[in-house]
Amino acid sequence: MADTTGNTTLRLGDFLPYRFSVLSNTISKQIASRYQTDFGLTLWQWRVMAVIGERTGLSASDIVSLTAMDKVAVSRAVTGLIEQGRLERVTAAADARRSYLHLTAAGQDIYDKIVPLAQAELDRIAATLSETEFEQLNQILTKLAEQASPDRPLW
């Protein structure tokens, strides 16, 4: 406590939220550009595919409540995927407002291609860290995420 004014100057480059944001955006952009050039997918389209690939038949609003995407983003991603023939929509018999989403064969195809790719990205990240650090990071993220948005179930 060398500063009695309370106005220590802030070192932006050391400031955790800033570093966090920069790093996260760097990683996201790399991933996004890869998915774009290799598969013509936006990050959000990929996220929608990832959710449906994991559990088929969910509706758009299921995706909204399961992820951090908002409904407009999901709607647009879904529209794009359908145009690309990678997703199909089946109106629910019981409720004409909602529809269930499924990967088409083509969709499943690239899903199967991307999953190992995503796994490889994760491995690349993990490789930078020791085993313990990797676990620590996951734990820390869980804590921070709970704190940052206590309301939203993580999954």
Partner DNA sequence: CATGAATGGTTTCATTTGTAACTATTTTGC
Partner DNA sequence: GCAAAATAGTTACAAATGAAACCATTCATG
User: For binding to a copy of itself (CB under 8 A), which residues are involved?
Assistant: 6-28, 30-31, 47, 50-51, 53-54, 66-68, 112, 115-116, 118-119, 121-122, 124-125, 128-129, 133, 136-141, 143-149, 154-155
**CB–CB of 140/148 below 8 Å?**
no
Whole-number minimum distance, CB 75 to DNA, in Å? 3
Q: Does 96 bind DNA (CB under 7 A)?
A: yes
Minimum distance from CB of 135 to DNA (Å)?
31
Say whether residue 153 binds DNA (CB under 7 A).
Answer: no
The answer to whether 81 and 87 are in contact (CB under 8 A) is: yes
- How far is the C-alpha of 48 from the C-alpha of 53, rounded, in Å? 8
Interacting residues with DNA between 53 and 92 (CB under 7 A): 59-62, 64, 70-76, 78-79
**In 110-141, which positions are buried (b, 16+ CB within 10 angstroms) versus exposed (e)?**
bbeebeeeeeeeeeeeeeeeeeeeeeeeeeee
